[in-house]
Structure 1
Amino acid sequence: MQTRRILLAAIALALAAPAFALAQTPAAAPAPVAEAGVVRVALTTPEGVIVLQLEQGKAPITVGNFLKYVDRKLYDGASFYRASTAPGGPKDYGLLQGGLQNDPKKVLPPIAHESTLKTGLSNTDGAIAMGRHAPGTAQADWFICVGDQAYLDADPKDPKNPGFAAFGRVVEGMDVVKKILAMPVDPNRGEGAMKGEMLVKPVRIVTARRVAP
C-alpha cells in the first residue's frame, strides 16, 4: 500500500513546466446550473460519457478555472493520457489523468491552491482534483481518483503537505473511467514519475460541455 501511495502521489511531479499563453477562444453562454453552487459538465469520449459534478460553492477558484476551459471549448480535443496504478496491483485503483499537457496555445495562467482543509472536499472514489507542481501552479490538467485516496488531501497536522485540490466528483460514467484506467500503458514512454504510465492510445475528449441536471 505504501508503494502504491508513493506512486500515485507522484502526480505532483509529473506535469510539465507551467506555460502562460492565454487562449483567445470566445466564451460560450453558460448552461443551467444543477443546483445552488453546483455545476455539471459532460466529457464525451469514444468510450462513453463521463459527467462531473463540480462544487463551485466550495471550490470557486478551481471550478471557475475549469469552467473557463469548458466554456471556451479548450478541452475539446484534449485527452486522457495517463493511467497510474501500482505495479502488479489491481487495475481498478489508481489515478486517471487528463487535460491539455501544457499545450501553449490553450493553457491559461496558474491558479491559487484551494486546500481541502478549506473546501471540505476529499480525494475519495470518483473525485476530480487538479494536478500541480508546487501549490499555485495548477493550470489545465487534472486527475480522477479511482478508489478512496484521502491521503492526497491536505494534512491538518503537517503544513508542508497541502494536498491536491479536489473540486468535484464523477456522478455518471465511472465505468468509463475504470475502462480507460485499465487500458494498456507503454512501459517506455513518460518521464520521471510518469514513466510507464502513459496510455498506448490516449483517449480523446471529443467535447466538454456544461449540462443541465
Structure 2
Amino acid sequence: MAQDKIIGVDSTDVVKKLGCYFSCSVQMIAALERQIFDFLGYQWAPILANFLHIMAVILGIFGTIQYRSKYLIMYAVWLVLWVGWNAFIICFYLEVGHLSQDRDFIMTFNTSLHRSWWMENGPGCLVTPVMNSNLAPEDHHVITVTGCLLDYQYIEVVSSAMQIFLALFGFVYACYVSKVFMEEEDSFDFIGGFDSYGYQAPQKTSHLQLQPLYT
C-alpha cells in the first residue's frame, strides 16, 4: 500500500509541471533576445536586470526539476519585481509623469548617448548622418531617423508588455507547482519506513518471574 501511494502520480500535476517548464523556457528565450538588443544599444541598467532575470529563470527550472518548492517561491517573488521593472520601462518610454528619455543616466548610467538599438534599426528606418554638427559631443555624431514603420519607443513598450505577460503566466504556474510540492512533502511516507502502513510499533513483552514448583 505504501509503495503504491508513492509511485502514483496525478496526471493534472504532471501537466502543470510541464506548463511550468514551458513558461520558463519561453521566458528564457525572450530574456536572451532582449539581452542581445540591450547590449547592442549599450543600455546597462536593462542589461543588469535581464541578467538577474535569466538567473531567476534558471532557478525556477532547477526548482521544478529537483522538486524544490523554496526555489520556485524565490522565482515567483522575482517575477513580481520583474513585472514592476517592465512597468517602469513602459512608463519611461511613454514619458509618463516626470520621466523623460533625455535622461541618459537612467538606462545607460550616463556612459553613452544610446537609448535603444531600435532607434536606428527599426523596421523601415532610414538613418542619415548630419555632418559637421555643433550639437554632437566629442567622439559622437548626429543623425536623423525617418520613415520608421514603428517608432522605437513603441517597440520597447511591446517588448516590456510581452515580458509582463510571460511573468504573470509563469507566476501562476510557479505558485501552483510549489504548492503541489509542499503538499507532497507534508504527506510523504518513506517506503518501508515510518509510515502508517509499513511501520508497526514494537510490542512490549512481559517478563514473567519463574517460581519454583514444590511437590
Bigger proportion of residues as helix: 2
Greater strand share, 1 or 2? 1
TM-score when normalising by structure 1? 0.24
Larger Rg: 2
When normalised by structure 2's length, the TM-score is: 0.24
